[in-house]
Copies of this chain bind each other. A is one copy, B any other.
């Protein structure tokens, strides 16, 4: 018991306090406090106060458009937002029971989800380093919850490996680490690294590999209690006189390599998917809804822009009522922030210089399709102990993602049944009718979850390149296209500036749209003040 040595220990520790204080002071002196130095976002934008009577017309009430509208309004500009759809948010969109939308050819879907269930067909997660997004959530009081990107008990699946049986992420992940460590330790012990590492480093390397890879005393990765403490047991340790724990059997190197599953465990290592990663409570559109409420009457819905003219002193936008086409209307302002996607803008008459026009015309859009499925119950939790996270498969559905909220809830729940991002799968699926898509997703999904068909209630699919107001998912830049056109797209052209994820280096992310907008309005404001 420590009581006996109390005084001595205490004296030692009071000395340690002094030493600890020295360490802190040292670090304090050399530290920049890590103030998100890596971001271009350093808190709410500071715009110069607008000249009296200045006005801006903003095209599009997605996040880029609404950020521009809110900030310019706060700086004293008169703002008007024209939005094609009858709702704000654009791709920042959440589908709930009763929602209805149509594709290019008029095909309509009505969402059949139970009350409280939702599906984010566009963006669905927010990295912790998307600082601008997080700041808007903070400013609008939107609560965030953890998005579960990596679930060690979710599946990785290759239809030609392990007889088509899905494997647990934790098994493949631990066994990759173990096999790699064993191989590298073997090479080190055989002297194969002697030109690459010093003797001292080699010793540290071997010790680290043994611990990291859970190798035995002979540097082998083999079934053991220690290994099971990482990959899980065949039978878990229990209580009282229940059955004794039984170690699990690792997958061998050859089987692991031939399974092609190694490539399916890495998503969580990607900076954009690092934990902590968030989702807004209640659906991705919570921020869009809050901003739209804030902007109120400043947003004119169902306004289909047909032409954008500019002169020396103003911008004039022509638009129709998208629901009841009739006489063309006009709206004018001193300045214009246009967040209409390039895919749509390329079809409009917009009065800008040749270089911006060429940029708009050159940007292709990536495709994407997402399917939301509602099931009678959370069988993935109840039967398979998968709470949130993502299963990966080589099948055309590619991903199944389980809800990161309402864990252990009763009643129907919605999961992401397919997510094709920028590849032929998205075109293949979307060439089918919505019902056929769902049918196919259920067939594929059944290879991971045999419960799919029996538990299915309803589903909805959003094929982004078939949504008439965007015709794609995101601006798909290549290095070559960036070199030729990016600056021309981003420049202020007379009184018009473009914004949106397509005018950013973070394509397909909301942060790209917001940073693009903040940068655009700063440059627009600077120009307005300089005149």
Taking the complex as formed, is A263 at the interface, i.e. its CB lies under 8 A from any CB of chain B? yes
- Of residues 208 through 258 on chain A, the ones whose CB sits less than 8 Å from some CB of chain B are 208-209, 211-212, 228-245, 248, 253-254, 257-258
- B387 & A240 in contact (Cβ 8 Å cutoff): no
Whether A428 pairs with B276 at a CB distance below 8 angstroms is no
> Do A23 and B523 contact each other (CB < 8 Å), given the known contacts A13-B440, A271-B228?
no
Q: Does A368 contact B (CB under 8 A)?
A: no
Q: For this complex, into which size category does the number of interface residues on chain A fall?
A: 35 or more
A38 within 8 A of B: yes
Contact between A236 and B151 (Cβ–Cβ < 8 Å)? no
Interface hit among A172-180, A306-314, A326-334, A345-353:
A172-180
Question: A residues 377-431 with Cβ under 8 Å of B?
Answer: 383-389, 395-396, 404, 407-408, 427-431
Contact between chains at B257 and A515 (CB < 8 Å): no
The one of B245, B447, B523 in contact with A240, judged by C-beta atoms closer than 8 angstroms, is B523
Q: Which of B35, B187, B244 contacts A187 (CB 8 A)?
A: B187
Is B519 in contact with A211, judged by CB distance below 8 angstroms? no
Q: Given the complex, which residues of B lie within 8 Å of A230, measured CB to CB?
A: 269-271
A436: contacting residue among B14, B258, B515, CB under 8 A: B14
Q: B520 and A271: CB pair below 8 A? A: no
* Proximity string of chain A (312-323) to chain B, C-beta cutoff 8 Å, 1 when within and 0 when not: 000000000000
- Interface segment among A78-86, A87-95, A157-165: the answer is A157-165
User: 8 Å CB contacts to B: which residues of A19-54?
Assistant: 20-21, 23-24, 26-28, 30-31, 33-36, 38-41
Contact call B239/A516, Cβ cutoff below 8 A = yes
* In-complex Cβ contact of A229 among B138, B145, B270 (8 A): B270
- Report whether B193 and A187 are in contact in the complex, using a CB–CB cutoff of 8 Å: yes
CA distance A28 to B450 in the complex (A): 6
Point out the residues of chain B lying under 8 angstroms from A34, CB to CB. 383-385
Q: Does A55 contact B (CB under 8 A)?
A: no
> A478 on the interface (CB 8 Å rule)?
no
Q: Does A361 contact B (CB under 8 A)?
A: no
Tell me whether A153 is interfacial, beta carbon within 8 Å.
yes
| CA–CA, A257 and B520, complex, Å | 45
Determine which of B153, B447, B520 lies in contact with A129 in the assembled complex, contact meaning CB atoms within 8 Å. B153
Question: Whole-angstrom distance between the alpha carbons of A518 and B505 in the complex?
Answer: 56
A173, A235, A450 — most chain B CB neighbours (10 Å): A450
Chain B residues contacting A523 (CB-CB under 8 Å) are 240-241
Q: Is the CB of A491 within 8 A of B241?
A: yes
Instruction: A513 to B239: give the CA distance in the assembly, Å.
Output: 7
**Does A294 sit within 8 A of B, measured CB to CB?**
no
Docked Cα-Cα span, A233 to B491, in Å, equals 25
Give residues 132-162 of A contacting B (CB, 8 Å): 134, 137-138, 143-146, 148, 150-153, 159
How far apart sit A151 and B238, CA to CA, in the bound complex (Å)? 29
B residues within 8 A CB of A150? 150, 275
B384 in contact with A128 (CB, 8 Å): no
**Interchain CB contact under 8 A, A431 and B6:** yes
Contacting pair B450 A31 (CB below 8 A):
yes
Per-residue CB contact flags for chain A residues 159-196 toward chain B (1 = under 8 Å, else 0) read 10001111000100110110011011011001011001
Asked whether any CB of chain B lies closer than 8 Å to the CB of A432, the reply is yes
Q: Which of A5, A30, A146, A276 has the most CB of B within 10 A?
A: A276
Stretch from A109-117, A197-205, A285-293, A297-305 forming part of the interface with B = A197-205
- B266 contacts A211, CB within 8 Å? yes
Q: What residue of chain B has the Cβ atom nearest to residue A182's Cβ?
A: B196
Bound: A436/B432 CA distance, A? 69
CA distance A176 to B438 in the complex (A): 42
Given A240-B490, A447-B24, do A170 and B274 touch, yes or no (CB 8 Å)?
A: yes
Q: Contact between A153 and B165 (Cβ–Cβ < 8 Å)?
A: no
Which of chain B's residues have a CB closer than 8 A to the CB of A176?
Answer: 212
Bound complex: CA A49 to CA B245 (Å): 30
Q: Which of B129, B245, B263, B443 contacts A236 (CB 8 A)?
A: B129
Q: Assuming the A-B contacts A17-B439, A276-B389, are A23 and B447 also in contact, with contact meaning beta carbons closer than 8 angstroms in the complex?
A: yes
Cβ of A373 < 8 Å from any Cβ of B? no
Tell me if A131 is interfacial: C-beta within 8 Å of chain B. yes
Contact with A13, one of B9, B21, B196, B431 (Cβ below 8 angstroms): B431
A66 within 8 Å of B by Cβ?
Answer: no
A-B contact pairs, 28 of them (CB 8 A): A2-B427, A13-B429, A13-B431, A17-B440, A20-B440, A21-B443, A21-B446, A26-B163, A40-B242, A40-B243, A131-B385, A137-B408, A146-B146, A150-B275, A186-B193, A187-B192, A205-B257, A208-B262, A208-B263, A229-B270, A230-B271, A238-B505, A239-B514, A240-B490, A240-B518, A241-B487, A241-B519, A275-B275
